[in-house]
């Protein structure tokens, strides 16, 4: 009998071109694909021989509970099928990929992971915001904005005390609480970026400071799924724009002189 297998695949931040080649190969060999809400449906076109099952969740609405997803993985793998669990970003960065692999392995299912490009670094990068930059940030924190108890992670308060870039996923519902922690550390003027639907055609971005970003978010109607970036590195985006504008201006002046 053919032995079943689970491959947990990171789909990347949203842009379909940012999935890895190994991830594409896994989809091409899949018999069943269980995919999440943040995964582009275009990626399912690679899974030409697979049954595609949506198991994602949005704003507390669950198509499958986590224990049901775990059971579905084991059930299909025990039928000798190759199950691909397709997750947004990287499956080991707040993706519960490790939990699903552990559950499947307990039932004798062969398991493998294909890392994905994490939205925590790639989404800021897509907007010319580095997470580290010499002279601005020597390190970065990646923190979930909401724990399994639906509370703000205690690590946010610790991160606010540091000089590191702070990247918060799933934190828009607690934006006010997050900014209050940074205000307590007298960081009202620290730059902040909020990037919604990063790397997709629906991408939106808001730029402000710890003191002003809540107003900016309301003004621009920014909401989840979004990434919050806090730190001096946010200024790099404007610096690049200024350099480009200056270059174009100089080029125009040179052309007019000729």
Kindly report, residue by residue over 63-117, the tens digit of the pLDDT.
789 999 999 999 999 999 999 999 999 999 998 999 999 999 999 999 999 999 9
Candidates 5, 87, 101, 170; catalytic one? 170
Q: What is the pLDDT of residues 107-155, one digit of tens each?
A: 999 999 999 999 999 999 999 999 999 999 999 999 998 887 888 999 9
Residues of the chain with pLDDT > 70, as a percent, come to 94
Residue 147 confidence (pLDDT): 82
Q: What is the pLDDT of residue 255?
A: 61
CA distance 25 to 3: 19
Q: Per-residue pLDDT for 258 more than 60?
A: no
Given the residues 5, 15, 31, 36, the one annotated as active site: 36
Nearest to 177 by CA among 157, 163, 150: 157
Give the separation between CA 32 and CA 84, rounded to whole angstroms: 6
**DSSP class of residue 224?**
S
pLDDT on residue 85: 98
Asked if domains 5-114 and 119-240 share a fold, the reply is: no
pLDDT tops 70 at residue 30:
yes
What is the helix (H) or strand (E) element at residue 57, kind and residue range? strand 57-58
Beta bridge mates, 228: 168, 194
pLDDT band at 60 (very low <50, low <70, confident <90, very high): low
Clarify whether 242 is annotated catalytic: no
Q: Where are the domains of the chain?
A: 5-114, 119-240
Q: Which of 22, 57, 133, 216 is catalytic?
A: 57
CB-facing half-sphere around the CA of 130: CA atoms within 13 A: 11
Q: What is the C-alpha to C-alpha distance for residues 186 and 231, in angstroms, rounded to an integer?
A: 13
CATH number belonging to domain 5-114: 3.40.1010.10
Cα(59)–Cα(69) distance, rounded to whole angstroms?
18
Q: What is the pLDDT of residue 57?
A: 76
Residue of 139, 136, 171, 178 whose CA lies nearest to 157: 178
What is the CATH architecture of 119-240?
A: 2-Layer Sandwich (3.30)
Catalytic annotation on 204? Answer: no
Q: Write the pLDDT tens digit of every residue in 156-179.
A: 999 999 999 999 999 999 999 999
Question: pLDDT tier at 40 (50, 70, 90 boundaries)?
Answer: very high
* Residue 15 a catalytic site member: no
pLDDT in tens, 226-255: 999 999 999 999 999 999 988 888 776 666
pLDDT at 1 over 70: no
**pLDDT at residue 253 in the model:** 64
Per-residue H/E/C for 136-191: CECCEEEEECCCCCCCCCCHHHHHHCCCCEEEEECCHHHHHHHHHHHHHCCCCCCE
Strand, coil or helix: what is 194?
A: strand
């Amino acid at each position: 009998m053919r032995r079943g297998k689970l491959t947990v695949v990171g789909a990347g931040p949203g842009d379909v071109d940012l999935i890895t080649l190994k991830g594409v190969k896994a989809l091409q060999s899949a018999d069943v694909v269980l995919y999440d809400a943040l995964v582009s449906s275009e990626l399912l076109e690679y899974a030409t021989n697979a049954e595609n099952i949506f198991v994602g969740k949005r704003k507390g609405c669950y198509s499958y509970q986590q224990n049901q997803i775990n059971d579905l993985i084991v059930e299909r793998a025990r039928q000798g099928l190759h199950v691909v669990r397709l997750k947004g970003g990287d499956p080991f960065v707040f993706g519960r990929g490790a939990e699903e692999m552990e559950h499947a392995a307990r039932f004798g299912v062969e398991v493998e992971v294909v890392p994905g490009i994490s939205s925590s670094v790639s989404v800021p990068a897509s907007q010319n915001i580095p997470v580290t930059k010499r002279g601005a940030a020597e390190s970065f924190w990646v923190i979930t904005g909401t724990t399994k108890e639906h509370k703000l992670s205690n690590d946010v308060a610790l991160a606010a005390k540091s000089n590191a870039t702070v990247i918060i996923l799933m934190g828009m519902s607690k934006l006010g609480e997050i900014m209050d922690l940074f205000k307590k550390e007298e960081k009202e003027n620290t730059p902040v970026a909020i990037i919604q639907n990063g790397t997709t055609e629906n991408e939106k971005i808001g730029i402000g400071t710890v003191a002003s970003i809540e107003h900016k978010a309301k003004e621009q109607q920014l909401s989840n799924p979004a990434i919050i970036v806090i730190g001096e590195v946010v200024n790099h985006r404007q610096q690049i724009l200024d350099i480009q504008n200056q270059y174009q201006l100089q080029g125009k002046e040179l052309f007019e002189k000729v």
